[in-house]
Structure 1
Amino acid sequence: PSQRFLDYRDLLSKVELEAVVIATPHHLHARQAIAAAEAGVAVICEKPLATNLEEASAVLEAVRRHRVPLTVVHNFLFAPGVRRALRLLRDGAIGQPLWGRALALFRKPREEMDPTLHWRASREAGGGCLNDTAYHEIYLVEALVGSPVGRVEARVQPAFFGGEVDDLALLLLEHENGALSTVASSWGVAGNGAGQVHNLVEVHAAEGALCVLRRGQELFCYRFPQRRWEAVPLPEVGEWLSTERQRLGHIYYFQEVFHRLAQGKGDLPVGGEEAWHNLAIIEAARRAHRERRAVEVPRRP
Structure 2
Amino acid sequence: MFKIGIIGCGRIVEEGHAPAFKELIKDVNVVALADTAIERCEKIGGILNVDRAHWYTDYTEMLKKEKLDFVDIALPHFLHEKVVIDCANAGVNIISEKPLATNLKEVDHMLKAVEKNEVILAVLHNYRYQPAMKKAIEITKAGVIGTRFIIRSEGLGGSHYAGTGAYDPDWRTKQNMAGGGCLIDNGYHNIYISRELMGADVVSVYARVNTYYHKIDVDDSAFLLLKHSNGGTTSIQIAWAVKAGGQGVNEVHGKLGSIFFGREGKPLGVFLNEKGTWEYPDVSAIPQNSFTGIFQDIFYAVEKGEKVPTDGYEARRNLQIIMAAYESARKEKVVKV
Q: TM-score range by the shorter chain?
A: 0.7 to 0.9
Return the offset for 1:235: 2.4
In 2 relative to 1, CA 224–157 (structure 1 residues): closer, same or farther, beyond 3 Å? same
Q: Give the partner amino acid of 2:176.
A: E
Q: Determine if the alignment matches structure 1 residue 74 to structure 2 residue 125.
A: yes
Q: Determine if the alignment matches structure 1 residue 57 to structure 2 residue 97.
A: no
Q: Give the partner amino acid of 1:279.
A: L
Q: Give the partner amino acid of 1:152.
A: V
Q: Determine if the alignment matches structure 1 residue 30 to structure 2 residue 81.
A: yes
Return the offset for 1:128: 1.1
Contact 2:156/2:242 (8 A) holds in 1: yes
Partner residue in 2 for 1:6? 57
- SS of 2:250's equivalent in the other structure is strand
- Provide, for residues 5-27 of structure 1, a one-character-per-residue CA deviation record: whole Å limited to 9, x for no partner: 11111211222211100001111
Query: What is the distance in 1 between the residues matched to 2:171 and 2:208?
Result: 23
Return the offset for 1:165: 1.0
Shifted more, 201-210 versus 147-156: the winner is 201-210
Query: What is the distance in 1 between the residues matched to 2:117 and 2:151?
Result: 38
* 1:164 maps to which of 207, 214, 217: 217
Q: Give the partner amino acid of 1:209.
A: S
In 2 relative to 1, CA 142–258 (structure 1 residues): closer, same or farther, beyond 3 Å? same
Q: Determine if the alignment matches structure 1 residue 189 to structure 2 residue 242.
A: yes
Query: What is the distance in 2 between the residues matched to 1:110 and 1:184?
Result: 17
Partner residue in 1 for 2:196? 143
Identity %: 34
Aligned residues: 280
Q: Give the partner amino acid of 1:4.
A: W
- SS of 1:170's equivalent in the other structure is strand
Q: Determine if the alignment matches structure 1 residue 268 to structure 2 residue 319.
A: no
* 2:151 maps to which of 100, 104, 123: 100
Q: Determine if the alignment matches structure 1 residue 250 to structure 2 residue 291.
A: yes
Return the offset for 1:56: 0.7
CA RMSD between the two structures: 2.3
Return the offset for 1:99: 1.1
- Provide, for residues 260-300 of structure 1, a one-character-per-residue CA deviation record: whole Å limited to 9, x for no partner: 33x26252111111100000000000000000000011xxx
- Provide, for residues 2-60 of structure 1, a one-character-per-residue CA deviation record: whole Å limited to 9, x for no partner: 31111111211222211100001111112111111111100100000111000011111
Partner residue in 2 for 1:287? 327
Query: What is the distance in 2 between the residues matched to 1:162 and 1:229?
Result: 44
With a CA cutoff of 8 Å and minimum separation of 6, indicate the structure with the bigger relative contact order: 1
Structure 2: gaps of 5 or more residues? 1-49
- SS of 1:260's equivalent in the other structure is helix
Return the offset for 1:116: 6.3
Shifted more, 203-212 versus 138-147: the winner is 203-212
Return the offset for 1:183: 0.8
Partner residue in 2 for 1:119? 171
Structure 1: gaps of 5 or more residues? none
Q: Give the partner amino acid of 1:294.
A: V
Query: What is the distance in 2 between the residues matched to 1:213 and 1:286?
Result: 30
Query: What is the distance in 2 between the residues matched to 1:189 and 1:231?
Result: 31
In 2 relative to 1, CA 213–51 (structure 1 residues): closer, same or farther, beyond 3 Å? farther
In 2 relative to 1, CA 70–218 (structure 1 residues): closer, same or farther, beyond 3 Å? same
Q: Give the partner amino acid of 1:59.
A: M
TM-score by length of 2: 0.77
Return the offset for 1:184: 0.7
